[in-house]
């Protein structure tokens, strides 16, 4: 049976890839642009099923031939882009980022990137735009479908079942699973092939309905109206999407079914528009364009900063087009359509992909630190963070708070050893009755954690001191310096307060009062200055050099940041001025010009607002020296204070 090439499908591919590319470049420009991936899923299901169905109907289907064609279609451009991504990463990525890239290379080579990302946060992570190969998750979904679905069709034909009915039943089951899993674990619904298969199965069902001939329904008034409505729905889904809509979910039905409706018709005014030469050309290069655009954008963010403006990102988009066209002409076309030495080419492609997978595994295991300059290795050492949460029999000092409290544990343990218990919990202020949540998800375990610490640890007779430190400015403002506002909320049991400042003040008072009632001595450590930039900016990088002549934040900028907050904090602490001790580490890292992230060649910070182990040790010595000089407070034993001074 002769197969008709439909130029309008290439035009639809162009729409899909442009939506995705511009969404990644400027999300506000096309907030639902990621639905382009869902359009690809429908098209892929339609085309692959049509090919397999037709071959089965004619009694000439070969599993080996099918997968050889898949290798020749998918591998050439993917090998080139992944290799280039690794080569650039060799020069610009620190160890932990190279480890992440290595995992993604291995995941991409095995077409299992979606499963790799399930072990991370993926699109739900604020650092998603710094993962050059994150976008390969969708390729993994498609290839996993290509492995399973043709085999299912083969069995369906052998058992003389209705392939269309099987496709529809599986699509319904997959969609129901998508909704159920999405309620409990949205990231799993996003990445699992079983919860995404319904989108490809919609295309598959359409192909089976068409009998695998790709002709579509001829132009009639009905099909013309359907095509126009479908095109409007696809366009609308790009711009009316809201983060309140779960994806994949009910809203995803709109672009998926609209795509199926559009593909199901043909020869209408919409299809003629999609068949223009430019649209067809963009459709032909859509695969390499999809592959190239995200690594280029990710490396732009890595080299030049997270918050690149729209014009810069659009420049990256422009660069992606010639890269995609050259890949299509020079790499894809010869290896996909060349008639000579086909077996040699296929074996070579599989070998190259396997080699990339091995390189990815090696990079993931070590991060390949031997390639890094001395400054980068120093930062790597600073970011090697390990906390000791062991509960000793007779602790003397308890560290209470969030990760900004836990950061003091390495330094204090050098002096007090097993007399220190780190009872902090990342993301939890650890104040009585206080619960917090971020990114729209209730954390739910902050208040119980604090109650358990009071009951099981602080109540011990051996405990004399409780050190409290928290990322207070973030909890009451919801803003990270140098970053956008974060969705953040707090609630206090037995309180109707809704304002973050009031809630934190009430929780702080309840906690301090409870500690004083237990006759515990309280030390409040104010937060370290927030840097507002990535520490990697202090390290020379290829192409951009060292972006900061001084590894620190200007003192004036820091003072402006905390000016209003300082009034709130001082009021909070003044109520207990004669009952608690307060230490401010800022004077130890700031002078009149800068607050420094390094001292004597060592990084004091491990990120923009957490101390490194070296920073913890240095400031802990300063803290103990400070209390040694403030002997009238009588909080810490003077022998410990003196021995800690360098």
Average of per-residue pLDDT across 521-539? 87
pLDDT reported for residue 490 = 67
Average of per-residue pLDDT across 372-387? 61
Average of per-residue pLDDT across 552-567? 87
Average of per-residue pLDDT across 165-192? 94
- What are the beta bridge partners of residue 596? 552
pLDDT reported for residue 122 = 38
Question: How would residue 95 be classed by pLDDT, with cut points 50, 70 and 90?
Answer: confident
Task: Copy the structure tokens of residue 321.
Answer: 């087009």
DSSP designation for 393: S
The phi and psi torsions of 524 (rounded to 5 degrees) equal -100, 120
Asked if the model's pLDDT at residue 2 lies above 70, the reply is no
Percent of the chain clearing pLDDT 70 (strictly above) = 86
By three-state DSSP, how is residue 479 classified? Answer: strand
pLDDT reported for residue 510 = 93
pLDDT reported for residue 623 = 85
34 or 577, higher pLDDT: 34
Q: Where are the beta strands (DSSP E) in 166-324?
A: none
- Please write the tens of the pLDDT for every residue from 297-306: 999 988 887 7
- Please write the tens of the pLDDT for every residue from 433-474: 888 865 444 456 788 889 999 998 999 999 999 999 999 888
The phi and psi torsions of 206 (rounded to 5 degrees) equal -65, -45
Percent of the chain clearing pLDDT 90 (strictly above) = 55
Asked if the model's pLDDT at residue 631 lies above 50, the reply is no
pLDDT reported for residue 515 = 95
pLDDT reported for residue 373 = 66
Task: Copy the structure tokens of residue 617.
Answer: 């040790």
Mean of pLDDT over the chain: 86
386 or 193, higher pLDDT: 193
Average of per-residue pLDDT across 352-357? 97
pLDDT reported for residue 632 = 38
CB 145 within 8 A of CB 198: no
Asked if the model's pLDDT at residue 71 lies above 80, the reply is yes
pLDDT reported for residue 38 = 97
Asked if the model's pLDDT at residue 16 lies above 90, the reply is yes
Domains of the chain, start order: 7-372 (no CATH), 379-644 (3.40.50.1110)
Task: Copy the structure tokens of residue 456.
Answer: 């099981």
The phi and psi torsions of 421 (rounded to 5 degrees) equal -115, 125
- Residue 238 CB contacts under 8 Å (≥ 6 apart), including other chains: 19, 30, 31, 32, 33, 35
Asked if the model's pLDDT at residue 496 lies above 80, the reply is no
pLDDT reported for residue 211 = 75
pLDDT reported for residue 644 = 35
CB 42 within 8 A of CB 259: yes
């Amino acid at each position: 049976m002769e197969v008709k090439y439909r130029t309008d499908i290439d035009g639809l591919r162009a729409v899909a890839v442009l939506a995705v590319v511009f969404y990644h470049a400027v999300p506000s420009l096309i907030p639902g642009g990621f639905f382009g991936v869902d359009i690809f899923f429908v098209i892929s299901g339609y085309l692959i099923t049509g090919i397999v169905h037709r071959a089965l109907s004619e009694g000439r289907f070969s599993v080996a031939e099918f997968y050889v064609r898949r290798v020749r279609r998918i591998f050439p451009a993917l090998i080139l882009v992944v290799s280039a991504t690794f080569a650039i990463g060799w020069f610009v990525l620190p160890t932990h980022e190279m480890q992440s890239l290595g995992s993604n290379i291995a995941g991409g080579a095995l077409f299992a990137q979606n499963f790799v990302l399930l072990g991370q946060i993926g699109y739900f992570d604020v650092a998603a735009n710094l993962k050059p190969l994150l976008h390969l998750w969708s390729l993994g979904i498609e290839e996993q479908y290509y492995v399973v679905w043709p085999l299912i069709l083969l069995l369906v034909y052998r058992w003389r079942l209705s392939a269309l009915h099987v496709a529809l039943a599986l699509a319904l089951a997959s969609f129901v699973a998508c909704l159920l899993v999405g309620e409990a674990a949205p990231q799993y619904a996003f990445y699992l092939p079983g919860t995404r298969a319904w989108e490809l199965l919609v295309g598959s069902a359409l192909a089976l309905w068409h009998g695998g001939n790709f002709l579509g329904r001829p132009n009639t008034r009905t099909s013309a109206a359907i095509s126009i409505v479908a095109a409007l729905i696809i366009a609308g889904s790009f711009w009316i999407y809201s983060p309140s809509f779960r994806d994949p979910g009910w809203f995803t039905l709109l672009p998926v079914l609209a795509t199926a409706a559009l593909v199901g018709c043909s020869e209408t005014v919409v299809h003629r528009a999609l068949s223009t030469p430019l649209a067809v050309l963009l459709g032909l290069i859509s695969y390499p364009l999809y592959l190239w655009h995200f690594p280029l954008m990710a490396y732009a963010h890595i080299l030049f900063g997270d918050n690149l403006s729209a014009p810069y990102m659009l420049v990256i988009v422009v660069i992606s087009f010639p890269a995609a066209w050259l890949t299509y002409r020079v790499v894809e076309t010869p290896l996909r359509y060349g008639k000579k030495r086909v077996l040699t080419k296929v074996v070579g492609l599989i070998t190259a992909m396997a080699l990339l997978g091995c390189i990815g595994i090696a990079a993931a295991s070590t991060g390949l630190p031997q390639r890094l300059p001395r400054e980068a290795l120093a930062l790597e050492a600073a970011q090697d963070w390990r906390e000791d949460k062991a509960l000793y029999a007779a602790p003397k000092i308890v560290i209470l708070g969030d990760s900004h409290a836990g950061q003091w544990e390495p330094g204090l343990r050098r002096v007090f050893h097993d007399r220190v218990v780190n009872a902090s919990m990342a993301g939890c202020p650890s104040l009585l009755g206080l619960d917090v949540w971020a990114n729209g998800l209730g954390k739910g375990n902050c208040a119980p954690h604090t109650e358990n610490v009071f009951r099981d640890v602080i109540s011990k007779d051996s405990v004399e001191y409780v050190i409290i430190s928290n990322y207070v400015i973030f909890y009451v403002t919801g803003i990270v310096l140098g970053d956008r506002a974060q969705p953040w909320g707090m609630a206090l049991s037995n309180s109707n307060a809704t304002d973050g400042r009031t809630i934190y003040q009430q929780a702080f008072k309840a906690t301090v009062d409870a500690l004083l009632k237990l006759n515990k001595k309280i030390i409040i450590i104010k937060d370290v200055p927030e840097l507002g930039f990535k520490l990697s900016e202090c390290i020379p990088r290829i192409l951009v050099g060292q972006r900061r002549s001084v590894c620190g934040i200007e003192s004036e900028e820091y003072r402006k940041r905390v000016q209003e907050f300082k009034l709130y904090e001082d009021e909070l602490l003044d109520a207990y001025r004669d009952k608690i001790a307060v230490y401010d580490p800022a004077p130890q890292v700031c002078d009149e010009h800068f607050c420094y992230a390094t001292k004597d060649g060592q990084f004091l910070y491990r990120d923009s607002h957490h101390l490194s182990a070296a920073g913890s040790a240095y400031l802990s010595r300063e803290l103990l020296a400070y209390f040694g000089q403030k002997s009238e407070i009588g909080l810490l034993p003077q022998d410990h204070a003196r021995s800690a001074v360098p």
